[in-house]
Structure 1
Amino acid sequence: MNITKEQIDALNAVVKVAVTKEDYADKVKNVLADYRKNANIPGFRKGAVPMSLIEKQYGKAVLLDEVNKILQSSLNDYLVEEKLDILGNPLPKVTEDFDWNKDDFTFEFELGLAPEFTVDLSAKSKVAKFDIEADDKMLEEQVDRIQKQYGKMISEDKVTEDTTLRGTFSNEEKGINNATNITLDIFKDKKVVKQFVGKKVGDVVELSTKGLFEDDHKLMDYLKVNHDDVHGLDIIVKFTIEEINSVEKAELNQELFDKLFGEGTVSSLEELKGKIKEDAEVQFAQQADQKFLNDVIESLIENTSFDLPSEFLKKWIQTVGETPLTKEQAEEEYAKSEKGLRYQLIENKIIADNDLQIQFEDLKAHTSELIKKQMAQFGQSNPTDEEVEGIVARVLSNQEETKRLSEQIMSEKMLALFKEKINVKAKKVNYQEFVKEMYGE
């Protein structure tokens, strides 16, 4: 057997595999001998069928099978030995006049090669790192929300501007059917508020979604529509009133503080606001980190330039699924996946350049911390090492779960690397400003 490579260009190559009779003859002979031992053909005793008859009936199929096994094995070994970094899988070149009656065969495979490029994390970047502050307005709103949440609900007969409503937003055409609680101050227009005032349980109020809220993103919360659908959404929704309540706010006293945070943790309004601010900004930091990571990824894709073997990849996409695709379908699929492929190559390059490999100990430690946090939520604040290790072992025995956790760890490693290497400008904002930045408004 002889394998050679012809370099077409930097991203494409053709590998030729020459298979001689000596490579496959013994393998074919042994398989046919096994067939002969077990063949049941009328007129012959088992094991006494003439080999010529076995060869005539099974020879061509066995030849094709054994040659294909040799091809796959030798080609894979060659790619590993030559350290060829390929995209997709080798594509066999179709030869119209291929003759299986010869003794020696030559097969050709097209290869799409991964590009060579560099990733400069220290280059000047346009990515901002947000520092989200829980401002005074937000803290006041959260205190008010807590007082209402823990206050006394009083059933009312009619809607007033200060009542809380339980009801359902619906629109059959758009599949909207979401039960929620609302207060009338969520609406942007006072005319909408007047539509509700005086209504009773069972009444239905029809509302236009266009300009219904100060921020269209609230449609996601109250109507449960996707982010892509909220911008410019102009439909009529119905709100069916199911409950009308007024709220007698809870007093800001020690009993409420202890109920919220445990005995003695908070003892004044200022301490309450401090605790709310602390907890909120921990959550904000996680959201800011995720946006930073997403923005860095987008920036790297945009600013890391390299070519791909696009024509090869389109041909490969045509063949890789259960059902072959047309050329047009493959081009459409390639357009959808190109961005993801580019980042996959960039990420692999960053991992290799910065030695960000995940060790099994990393996986165990990460899983252990997650389990301890989950157990603490259910009141098990001091589990034994044996308990945790047992759960870790069960979790990591699941391949899908192990893959998901590994991706989490790699994401954390990439985030830490980006924070260290990328030169960014910190930007202090409140949460509302951050939401507008996140959604590009």
Structure 2
Amino acid sequence: MQVSVETGDGLTRRLRVELPAEEIEQEIEKRLQNYARSARLPGFRPGKVPLRMLRQRYGDSVRLEVFGERIEASFPQAIAEAELRPAGRPDIEPDLDRDAGRYAYLAEFEVMPELTLTSLDGQSVRRPQVEVTEADVDETLERIRQQRKRWEPVERVAASGDRLSLDFEGFIDGEPFAGGRGEGVQLEIGSGRFIPGFEEQLIGTAVGDKPVVEVTFPEDYQQTALAGRSARFDVVVKRVEEPILPALDADLIAEFGVEDGDVERFRADVRANLERELAQRVKARVKEQVMDALLEAHPLPIPAALLADEIDSLRQMTMRNLGGAGSQISESKLPDELFADNARRRVALGLIIAEVIKQQELSPDPERVRAALEEMAASYDDPQAVIDHYYADRQRLASIESMVLEDVVVEHLLEQLQVTDEPISFSELTAQQQ
């Protein structure tokens, strides 16, 4: 077998492989002879068909079969000999000429980018320094009450925070437009669900009022035909309701498993959850900066095959996350461009991190894996059942090990970085990450 390599654009390589013709011809002859022992053709007894007739009738198909098998078997050997690491499947073009005794093929593929690790010395990371305060606990408790509020009809004019039931129809240049009509639509004033300026113009209206609302669609509005255009909405107010928030009492907190109704114990549970969330957010913020530093220090060309696979993986993940709503969205409505930047980042980081792990011989400690799993399971009703679920399946446990290994990599890289504590409030940290 003779192997030669030609370098194409970027990561593209063209591998030409010449296969030994004598060996292939011998294999073809061997298979025809074996077939001759049982071959049936009209006018001949089984096993008595002349070999020359079998060559004439089946020689070409057997030749293609043997040639295809030799291509498949030789390709791994050829790339090993050429010291290449393909990224994705090759495009193979056979080059077969029986008369010239040529059995060859051209394989075109991308290779994995070469990577030399660079120290991160001189780069810096800002670590959020934040504590959970009583005000953060109060804000969370208020959010819990808001989530469980009920609505009561009122006979007064609408105020911010009220919920209205509306009929409306929109017009642009005096003509109704698609999607501009609604009946019995519920709108909470101040929620920001409608076009900017719409909700505020309903403050002070009452049941039976027919206000005319004039607004301008944002320049970046999702329906491009409406973006930046002025519209008039004829509105009918059908109902006005005010929110009634539940008291922070035993009945409310019993819904969260505090059966004895102890409000202080519930506050303690809320604080513990916030502190757990805080630790995760700080960890994520630091990790993000470390990954940014890693990417900046190691610019890489990305193989198109790996990028395409990652884009498809992100698209499928999005479809699963959409759940029932995903059935209303075809994959064609989720174009590659929607995922390209994130996919490129994920592929690049995967390649760089793999090299760090390899060179530094990093691995996840079993005790640390157990601790990470216990921490994750703590938020479930039956933590032990969750832990058993992961340890019962090697593949499931591998996902936890991978997560821990990433943490090990981040800690290793942090030793090369300058870390500065940055005082910040819990709410500011949450807003930044959102």
**How would you bin the TM-score normalised by the shorter chain?**
0.5 to 0.7
- Answer whether contact 1:165 1:241 (CA < 8 A) is retained: no
Please report how far the alpha carbon of residue 410 of structure 1 lies from its aligned counterpart in structure 2 after TM superposition. 2.0
In 1, the alpha carbon distance for the partners of 2:358 and 2:35 equals 49
Range with greater deviation from structure 2 (50-59 or 20-29): 20-29
Provide the C-alpha distance between the structure 2 equivalents of 1:133 and 1:7, rounded to a whole number of angstroms: 59
SS at match of 1:160: coil
In the TM superposition, what are the counterparts of 1:250-329 in structure 2 within 5 Å? 250-253=246-249, 256-257=252-253, 260=256, 262-263=258-259, 266-268=262-264, 275-306=269-300
| Alignment counterpart, residue 430 of structure 1, candidates 425, 429, 432 | 425
| Equivalent in the alignment of 1:103 | 101
Give percent identity, aligned residues only: 15
* Residues 1:248 and 1:348: Cα distance change in structure 2 (over 3 Å): closer
Gaps of 5+ in 1: 220-224, 322-331, 397-401
1:184 equivalent among 184, 189, 205: 189
Supply the AA of the counterpart residue of 1:156. V
Partner of 2:28: 28
Aligned to 1:329: none
How has the CA–CA distance of structure 1 residues 195 and 286 changed in structure 2, closer, same or farther, with 3 Å as cutoff?
same
1:352 aligns with 2:358: yes
The residue identity in structure 1 corresponding to 2:421 is A
Task: State how far apart, in whole Å, the 1-side matches of 2:229 and 2:399 are.
Answer: 39
Partners of 1:157 and 1:201 within 8 A in 2: no
Corresponding residue for residue 142 of structure 2:
144
Q: Is the 8 A contact 1:92 1:107 kept in 2?
A: yes
The residue aligned with 1:47 is 47
**What root-mean-square deviation, in Å, do the aligned CA atoms of Structure 1 and Structure 2 show?**
5.3
Instruction: Give a deviation string over 1:334-367, Cα, whole Å, max 9, x none.
Output: x8775554333213212312334579x7999699
Q: Residues 362 and 408 of structure 2 are in contact (CA less than 8 Å); yes or no, is this contact kept in structure 1?
A: no
Paired residue for 2:202?
A: 195
Q: What is the Cα deviation at residue 259 of structure 1?
A: 5.2
Q: In the alignment, residue 86 of structure 2 is paired with which amino acid? A: I
Evaluate the alpha carbon distance shift between residue 191 and residue 240 of structure 1 in structure 2; reply closer, same or farther with a 3 A threshold.
Answer: closer
Spell out, residue by residue over 1:69-127, the C-alpha distance to the aligned partner (whole angstroms, 9 max, x if none).
123212213434775433334454676xx522233534454564434333346433354
TM-score (norm 1): 0.63
The alignment partner of 2:199 has SS state of: helix
Native 8 Å contact 1:196 1:205 kept in 2: no
Range with greater deviation from structure 2 (240-249 or 119-128)? 240-249
Contact 2:377-2:383 at 8 Å conserved across structures: yes
**Distance in 2 of aligned mates of 1:205 and 1:38:** 90
TM-score of the superposed pair, with normalisation by structure 2: 0.64
1:246 maps to what in 2?
A: 242
Partner of 1:73: 73
Partner residue in 1 for 2:128: 130
- Relative to 1, partners in 2 of residues 1:94 and 1:427: Cα closer, same or farther, differing over 3 Å? farther
Q: Which amino acid aligns with 1:349?
A: E
- Residue 161 to residue 353, structure 1, CA distance change in 2 (3 Å): same
Q: CA deviation at 1:286?
A: 2.9
State the Cα distance separating 1:131 from its structure 2 match. Answer: 4.7
Taking a change above 3 Å as real, the CA distance of residues 200 and 81 of structure 1, as seen in their structure-2 partners, is farther
Structure 1 letter corresponding to 2:298: T
> Which one-letter code corresponds to 2:429 in the other structure?
F
> Do the aligned residues in 1 keep the contact of 2:158 with 2:202 (CA within 8 Å)?
no
Q: Alpha carbons of 1:369 and 1:25: their partners in 2 closer, same or farther (altered >3 Å)?
A: farther
Kindly indicate whether the alpha-carbon contact (under 8 Å) linking 2:369 and 2:401 is maintained by their aligned counterparts in 1: no
CA–CA distance in structure 2, aligned partners of residues 381 and 69 of structure 1: 52
Given candidates 410, 425, 428, the residue that maps to 1:418 is: 410
The one-letter code sitting in structure 2 at the alignment partner of 1:348 is A
Deviation at 1:159, TM superposition (A): 5.3
Residue 340 of structure 2 is aligned to residue 342 of structure 1? no
Could you tell me which amino acid in structure 1 is paired with residue 54 of structure 2? I
Give the distance between the partners of 1:21 and 1:109, measured in 2 at CA. Answer: 18
Contact 2:94 2:104 in 1 (8 A): no
How far apart are the structure 1 equivalents of 2:299 and 2:139? 47
The offset of 1:195, in angstroms, is: 0.8
Give per-residue Cα distances to partners, 1:359-389, cap 9 Å, x unaligned. Answer: 9x79996997599668x43xx466599xx36
1:280 Cα deviation from its structure 2 partner = 2.6
CA distance in 2: counterparts of 1:289 and 1:140, whole angstroms = 24
Query: Do the aligned partners of 2:39 and 2:46 also contact (CA within 8 Å) in 1?
Result: yes
